[in-house]
C-alpha cells in the first residue's frame, strides 16, 4: 500500500525545522514562491524555474478531435493554454536512481 503524500502543513513544519525558522516564516516563503511563479508565468517569458527541482512553462495546446468515453462519439476539443511542470535533470536522476 502506497503512503500518502505530505500535506502542506507537514511540508511547512519539516522545512521550518530543517532551516531553524518559525513555521510562519516557512509558510510565508511558500506563499511568496507561489505568487512569484504565477507572476512570472503570466508575464512575457511564460517560464518559472525552481533550481534543482524543475521548471513550470506555459504551453499552448492545439485544438483536436477527441472521443467521448461514454458514448464513443467524436467531439471537438478546443485549443487552450496549459501549465506544464518539467522536472530538472538533477531531480529526475536523484529520484530514479
In angstroms, the CA 70 to CA 72 distance is: 6
Percent over 90 (pLDDT), the chain: 90
How far apart CA 45 and CA 52 sit, in angstroms, is 20
Instruction: Please state the pTM of the whole predicted model.
Output: 0.77
Distance CA 63, CA 6 (A): 36
Give 5's contacts (C-beta < 8 A, 6+ positions apart). Answer: none
pLDDT digits (tens, 9 = 90+) for 61-74: 999 999 999 999 99
Q: Are 85 and 59 in contact (CB under 8 A)?
A: no
CA count, 13 A, side-chain hemisphere, 32: 6
Amino acid at each position: 500500500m502506497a503512503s500518502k503524500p505530505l500535506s502542506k502543513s507537514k511540508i511547512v513544519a519539516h522545512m521550518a525545522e530543517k532551516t531553524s525558522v518559525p513555521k510562519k516564516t516557512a509558510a510565508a516563503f511558500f506563499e511568496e514562491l507561489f505568487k512569484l511563479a504565477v507572476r512570472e508565468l503570466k508575464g512575457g517569458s511564460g517560464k518559472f524555474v525552481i533550481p534543482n527541482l524543475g521548471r513550470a512553462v506555459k504551453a499552448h495546446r492545439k485544438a483536436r478531435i477527441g472521443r467521448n468515453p461514454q458514448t464513443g462519439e467524436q467531439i471537438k476539443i478546443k485549443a487552450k493554454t496549459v501549465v506544464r511542470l518539467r522536472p530538472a535533470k538533477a531531480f529526475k536522476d536523484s529520484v530514479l536512481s
